[in-house]
Structures are given as structure tokens and as C-alpha cells.
Structure 1
Amino acid sequence: MGIVATAKVQSLDTPWQGEIQHGKHVYLTDKPESFGGKDSGPAPYDFLVASLISCTMITLRMYAKHKDIDLGLFEVEAEFHANREGEEWIERRLNFKADMDEALKQKILAICQKTPVTKTLLRSVEIKTSLV
């Protein structure tokens, strides 16, 4: 497998702000006002949880299509937590409008643990940094 995703960020004159580009998609990143930013865009950990929940939603929809299951409209939300002891964790919640039996609920929970971004976050990822 080759490159899965690319992104570029250009720092802006306003402290903490940057312009992120993914192909034709362009948006701002910033820090919240409580951390000295202007809150003009998501902060880095916001992107991390957004990646997880968007991958979860897409994977569940792909599974449903493959199995011809109507999941209806649903929401996935996540929070990144950290404490003073250095522990970090993500809490992910799913909310389905459609009724489903217990077997399907358990299958959905199992699939969530196997989404590509979940699997990436659960294992160690090597990051190679260079100056160009």
C-alpha cells in the first residue's frame, strides 16, 4: 500500500492559525480562545477525533450496504481525554435512530474496533520527520 492521505498546513500571521489543504479542500486550524487562539478553526485534537468518527461512520455505512442493512441516519461523536498522570483515551459514542436487535448492536460495536483509523490509533505509529 502507498500513500493513504496527504495534507499541508501554511502558518498564518495570526498566532496559532494555519491554513490546511487536502487536495481541493482548504480550511483553518487554530487554538481555542482559552489557549490564546481565536478559535477560527478546529484544533489538532479536534481533527484527530474527527478522523476517527468520520472513518467510523463511513465504515459502518459500507458494512450496512454490503450486508443490505438499513442503519438509517445515525451520529458518531468522540471526545479526547487526558489527565495529569499522562493517560490519554478517546470515548466514542454512536446514536442510531433506527431500532436494532442486540445481535446487530454487538456487531456494530465489533466493527467499530476494526475501522482503519481505530486500528491506526490502537497501534503505535512511527513518525519520520525531515527538513526539506
Structure 2
Amino acid sequence: MRTSLRMTGTAYANAKVAIYLKDGDSRRSLVLVGMAADDVPELATELRSRSPSEEVDATFMGMGITDTSDFPAGSLGGILRCGRTPTGGGAACAWADGSVLGMALTPLSSDVVSLGATTLALRNAAEH
């Protein structure tokens, strides 16, 4: 996955990537990708020139995510938006504020509501 991210551009080369499997079952996987403006100069430039909403929209456009809905972003602010993958079999959420961009994906589950709640909990834990 890291190789694939590097191929999309230098901004993703320093992304933090984690893949979680529930009970070792790859059909129940969760992929997290996060970047901080302090680590990625290109992201810092983007976050200064675009709103968090525009940053998430640009991220989703590049991924082909459609049918999006906003979810509560929590006390950290910014935006948290989720939608379905182009094949309709998966879901993705992305959050952004003035200093970070993060994404959570469930490649084989299209339960956007559940992923939105999980993404907020993970964001709160990661950015505390």
C-alpha cells in the first residue's frame, strides 16, 4: 500500500499507514492513512490554501468516492466526511483541519455510518 501511495505523488510518501484485521479476517479490514502538515510540506501548502472541506473533497475526487455525507468532526473541529467507494462495496471517511488529513477505508464493507463513528473515535485517539 505504501508503494501505491508513493506512486500517487510525493505528498503521500510520508503518510502514516495502518491496516487492521478483525480476528485476522481480511474481509473485515480497516485501512488508516494519516498525514500531518508538519511532516508533509505539500500538505501544509494545501491546507493553507484550501478549506478542510475542499481538502476532503479533493481527496475523495481522486479516490472516486461518491454519495458523501458529513458526520460530527468532534472537539478537534474541521470536517469529517464519509462516502462509498466507486465499486459500491466499500466505504471511506476522510477528515481534515488546519494541520492534518486522514482517511479510513473499509474495502469490503459499505456501512458508512459505522465507519463514520469508528473514524471519529480513531481520530480522537490519534490526535489527542
TM-score by length of 2: 0.32
Structure with the greater relative contact order (CA < 8 A, sep ≥ 6): 1 or 2?
A: 2
When Rg is computed on C-alpha atoms for both structures, the one with the higher figure is 1
